[in-house]
Chains A and B, each alone.
Chain A
Amino acid sequence: MPIDVDATVIANTRLSDDYSVLALEAPDVASLAEPGQFVMIKPSAGVDPLLRRPFSIFEILRDANGSPTGISLLNKRIGIGTALLYEATPGSRLGCLGPLGRPFEPVSPPAEAWMVAGGVGLAPFVTLSEALSARGTKSRLFYGARKSSDLTHVDLFERLGVEAVLATEDGSRGMHGFVTAALEAALRATPQSQEIRLYACGPTPMMRAVAKLAAAHGRRCDVSLEQVMGCGLGGCYSCVVLTHTGGGAPHFVRSCIDGPVFDATRILWDALVH
């Protein structure tokens, strides 16, 4: 059951002109959260902007004893709401509803987990990496961005025992080009006897490319989709994605309650908005 808290902003750390990490005091949301779940954030107290925005839970914040004290969000300034959040100051309060949505299923050894993140799509993978680390699952993160300064928190993943494979479109860090090229090379180099589960989150063209590679190499791939979302609870039917139904006509399902994590083979990628 989700809860709604008036969360105090503990810190808002700017990573670049576009990205910030917003730390919120929300112990109850933090202690309920499962890997890959999201919250609905109200960026201002008034009615303009009116709606909440969905955000993956980025980190679970803990005190010295390891007890959950809050969550952080990886925010990229794009529109009115994300601009307000980029400017949010410590001490201010934001409505925080959650945790919501179908979580990732972390695989256990001997299977390996390969996460594929593009830009702000990194957000759901810290909580997944923690769950994988707790299981002792060997994990890799294929992480791409436009430029070096957009790559963030790589050391956090490395501390969790995740092998990071980086790529930038301008070649300023890691491999030069799309992260999917690095993924393809790794898939080719890995024997079929090694079980691998792929997890992808990022721009739609990237997720679509990952889904295609996964299918070509016979690997299961779960994607975390971001859609325009009105309520987060299944009430408004705005966040739908078109899915295969096994022979029947394609069907719109709500990404807030049936997702945001989907088996990539369910998605009609041609119909997905990006």
Chain B
Amino acid sequence: MDLSVSIGSLTLANPLIAASGCFGYGVEYADVVDLSTLGGVAVKGLFLAEREGHPPPRIVETPAGMLNAIGLQGIGVHRFVREKLPELRDRRAVVFVNICGTTVDEYCEIARILSDHEGVAAIELNISCPNIKEGGITFGCDLNGTHNVVSAVRKVTPLPVIPKLTPNVTNVASFARAAEAAGADAVSLVNTFLAMAIDVHTRRPKLTNIVGGLSGPAIRPIAVRMVYECRQAVKLPIIGMGGIMTADDVLEFMIAGATAVQVGTANFVDPFIWKKILDGLRDYMTSHNIERLSSMTGTIDTTKRETAWISS
């Protein structure tokens, strides 16, 4: 039984990657999960400099989901390579470093620094954070901006470059195409959906930032649809995410076209979820006689419609 998947030149032991922003810098979770057993660990988004983020409340629960507006609090790339990367390397984690910038130059500078250090497997370009005013999403909501930042970072690093796309656009597939044309090695999608929650008694927003990003099972069907659309638009590997809680959810994304997946909000609810999902994937492979999990990617059968669920 082979659970491994390939993202360009990178081979992952399995398709499960801890999603950026949902797993600290990885080291926080070393007590509860052997980091080397994960396909990868996408660490919290890093700017060049340290950032404090937004004042709390930073999260609020919503039906089958949550909003967050953390504001990318972080230690900056310099402290990351000094204080966190050695431990991640010792623990044999496959490290995806999520990077953010207010300018193309900042993205390139961070990518250069990371390229000079051992233990970084890939760079995920955060061009999709909905919670900060400057940078990030301004690249992710503009086709030229996406192309420019991806091609610039592509030129300064030998590491795989994986832009993380926002769902807050009319047509995500066009952004996947822009990323592919600019030389990306893969795309990850989706980041959170811009959303808000209001207290009807006081008429006040529940988050300090007023708006925040919606994640969790509530967004999963939309994310699956977006992966499916991107699969048809590009040849690049897709790392799919959005509300994955179970092995079935992973399989749904893979069948829609994802090569690997990220698990985020579910890790908050259950930090021991990784083994449960991997066991579920193995059970599925046994019962469906699947030898290689990677053979599931993009195997959706649209020639027929499933109806068995109707009586469920």
- Name A residues whose Cβ lies closer than 8 Å to a Cβ of B: 1-2, 4, 42, 47-52, 80, 95, 97, 227-228, 230-231, 233-242, 249-252, 257, 271, 273
Contact = CB atoms under 8 A, between A and B. Distances in A.
Contact of A235 (B24, B60, B216): B24
Interface in B225-283: 245, 265, 267-272
A128 B172 CA distance: 54
B271 A237 contact: no
B28 A233 contact: yes
Nearest to B267: A235
Closest 5 A/B residue pairs (Cβ): A234-B28, A231-B268, A238-B59, A1-B31, A238-B58
Contact of B269 (A51, A80, A257): A51
A47 B189 CA distance: 22
Contact of A233 (B21, B32, B217): B32
B61 A50 contact: yes
Contacts of B221: none
Contact of A236 (B60, B68, B272): B68
Contacts of A231: 267-268, 271
Interface in B12-36: 21-24, 28-29, 31-32
Nearest to A242: B55
16 contacts: A1-B31, A2-B32, A4-B271, A47-B64, A51-B268, A228-B60, A231-B267, A233-B32, A234-B28, A235-B267, A237-B58, A238-B58, A238-B68, A240-B56, A241-B56, A252-B73
Contact of B268 (A230, A240, A251): A230
The majority secondary structure among interface residues of chain A is loop
A252 B269 CA distance: 23
Interface residues of B, number: 35
A273 B204 CA distance: 15
B28 A252 contact: no
Name which of A48, A49, A51, A231 has the most chain B CB atoms within 10 A of its CB: A231
A257 B59 contact: no
A49 B271 contact: no
Given A235-B29, A236-B22, A240-B56, 5 more contacts: A51-B269, A97-B271, A228-B58, A234-B24, A241-B56
B147 interface: no
B65 interface: yes
B66 A51 contact: yes
B56 A47 contact: no
Given A4-B272, A234-B24, A48 B64 contact: yes
A119 to B, nearest CB: 20
B57 interface: yes
A2 to B, nearest CB: 7
Interface in B117-166: none
Contacts of A49: 61
Given A2-B32, A47-B64, A252 B57 contact: no
A237 B44 contact: yes
Contacts of A235: 22-24, 28-29, 267-268, 271
